[in-house]
Structure 1
Amino acid sequence: MSDEAKAKEFLEKAEKRCKGGNILSFLGGGSSKFDDAASDFTKAGNLFKMSKKWDQAGAAFQRAAECYLKGSSKHDAASSYVSAASCYKKGNVADAITCLKAAIEYYTDEGRFGISAKHQKEIAELYEAEGDLDQACASYQTAADYYDGENSTVSSHQCLLKIALFSAQLERYSKSIEIYEQVAAASLDNNLTQWGCKEYFLRAILCYLASDDVVSAERALQRYRDMQASFNSTRECRLCDDIIKACRNNSVEEFTDAVADFNTISPLDSWKTSILLRVKNTITKESESVV
């Protein structure tokens, strides 16, 4: 008999347990019919996984979770929801998110914010993969709050930086700037994290310029130099200075030369390339308006 056929037998057995009675449970002994059913649903789910029937496996684990909720173990229910989500993630993202949210509800009720943060971040990554940046930002923010409550600063910052990344893509530059400056300020006094400040400062300046606010970019650059003395000698700081001057002079040529010079040694990632293109477009518009 195939694993899939065995799985279906366990499903039928589990459903019968749910509908039928368990005399031991009525007499106060033994496990409840729902715990027994949950066990059979779990066996079915594992067999479906072996057959790579992901949606069916997810549905079986989800049914197990529902039975555990009616039985004696909310902890097992949460674990089953997580198992269901891991199967649904193979194709049914909406159901995966639903199951993760159900698990998170239990974990937060129990004060287990560390594992709640992990699964909330997982939800954010699913939204990100689907291209739903608004929901991804909201989920990363919740995860960041959970991590922050557990004093997991590095993990919290990782989530916040994702929000900054997406906010800039959505042209919500002020939000991106706020996060980059917040994370940079929190990283300055830590030898393990201060190296990243030059990157956060650069990204913040790019956001200022993309929003066509050269004055604020100049002020911010001076503030960043005051915050971290070593920043002044970095290539990131030089790039910021050069492109701010290019924007001041409405010179596309100066801008292009500055970017090309930086890129020869520190190749630009897709995010910076995209934001720099927006900055270049603001210079082009200014040049055209002058003409």
Structure 2
Amino acid sequence: MAQDPRALLAKADKQASSARGGFSLFGGKQDKLEIAADLYTQAANAFRIQKLGREAGQTLEKAAAIRQEINEPDDAASNLVEAYKAYKKDDPSSAARVLEKAIQHFTLRGNFRRAATYQQNLAELLDEIGDVPRAVAAYELAGDWFQSDNAESLANGAFLKMADLAALEGMYPKAVEKYEGVARSSAESNLMKWSMKDYFLKAGICHLASRDKIALTKALDNYVDLDPTFRSTREFQLLNDMLEADNSSDAEVFADKIFQYDQMSKLDKWKTTMLLRVKKSIEEEDDDGLA
């Protein structure tokens, strides 16, 4: 039979209050707080069984506070991670808050691989709740920590997610920096080299979106220097074709070149969104020129 979470919570509160109530003949403060923390954890688990995520998270925060008080920071961090999981569905803002606290503990311990993993979880959560600027920063930090732990593949994954979000938010220089950085990293790996053309394409689209066509012209030369095979790819041809159409202020040709590419290599949602943004800019600039 499942235990009553509220009865366990009341018992834990009473135990914690008793521990802080002064001198006792029946056990010291430390022991009583240990028992209270265990009871809070049991109550939280009972809340989770009943699918009461917010209540479980709040109760786990109480357990974490006691673990911190009795100098058990590792257990406190574990409680906070569990609180994040409990909060995630019903109260994502609280989930982000407690996860940030846990991450701080892991970094202080020098456990950057674990911190990076949770930092990426935090970024995903922030993206879900629409806090994109913080999500971008969280992905970048996760990538930096993975990189410091020599986990290059995981770092690149975080940087790419960050770049995709940054570009959609109009943070084009930051997105370009990450796409090109991941491309350089991939050049050193036979397994990852095949992806470079996609990173170059995304960076090039960002240059067009920022309306810096001179930067794209220079970038194309740099991309070929980094990967000479890029010149023979459809991605290189598309970027060149789009640049020519943009320089000619011809939105129809621009759209036609994209359509032809899409017939052979289906464009994903990110590229479609970004290219529509560029096309709109070309049309608006052309209208301004006619005015």
Same topology, TM > 0.5 = yes
**What CA deviation, in whole Å up to 9, does each residue of 1:234-277 have, x standing for no partner?**
21111111111111222222212110011112111121111111
**What CA deviation, in whole Å up to 9, does each residue of 1:6-27 have, x standing for no partner?**
2112111111111114646539
Q: How does 1:154-173 map to 2 (within 5 A)?
A: 154-173=153-172
Distance 1:210 1:99 in 2: 37
1:220 paired with 2:222, answer no
Distance 2:57 2:281 in 1: 49
Which amino acid in the other structure matches residue 16 of structure 1?
K
Which amino acid in the other structure matches residue 115 of structure 1?
R
1:97 paired with 2:96, answer yes
Distance 1:287 1:69 in 2: 63
Which amino acid in the other structure matches residue 14 of structure 2?
K
Structure 2 alignment gaps of length 5 or more: none
- 1:203 paired residue number: 202
Measured after TM superposition, the shift of residue 178 of structure 1 is 1.2
Distance 1:206 1:45 in 2: 48
Measured after TM superposition, the shift of residue 161 of structure 1 is 1.5
Q: TM-score, normalised by structure 2?
A: 0.93
Paired residues, number: 286
- 1:137 paired residue number: 136
Q: TM-score, normalised by structure 1?
A: 0.93
- 2:17 paired residue number: 19
Measured after TM superposition, the shift of residue 202 of structure 1 is 0.4
Distance 1:228 1:146 in 2: 27
- 1:59 paired residue number: 58
Which amino acid in the other structure matches residue 167 of structure 1?
A
Q: How does 1:76-155 map to 2 (within 5 A)?
A: 76-155=75-154
Which amino acid in the other structure matches residue 108 of structure 1?
T
- 1:234 paired residue number: 233
Shift in CA distance, 7/290, structure 1 to aligned 2, threshold 3 Å: closer
1:70 paired with 2:72, answer no
Distance 2:65 2:182 in 1: 41
Contact 2:60 2:80 in 1 (8 A): yes
Structure 1 alignment gaps of length 5 or more: none
**What CA deviation, in whole Å up to 9, does each residue of 1:177-197 have, x standing for no partner?**
111111111110101211111
Measured after TM superposition, the shift of residue 2 of structure 1 is 5.3
- 2:186 paired residue number: 187
Distance 2:234 2:227 in 1: 14
Q: Percent identity?
A: 35
Distance 2:245 2:91 in 1: 48
Shift in CA distance, 178/210, structure 1 to aligned 2, threshold 3 Å: same
Measured after TM superposition, the shift of residue 42 of structure 1 is 0.7
- 1:256 paired residue number: 255
Which amino acid in the other structure matches residue 148 of structure 2?
G
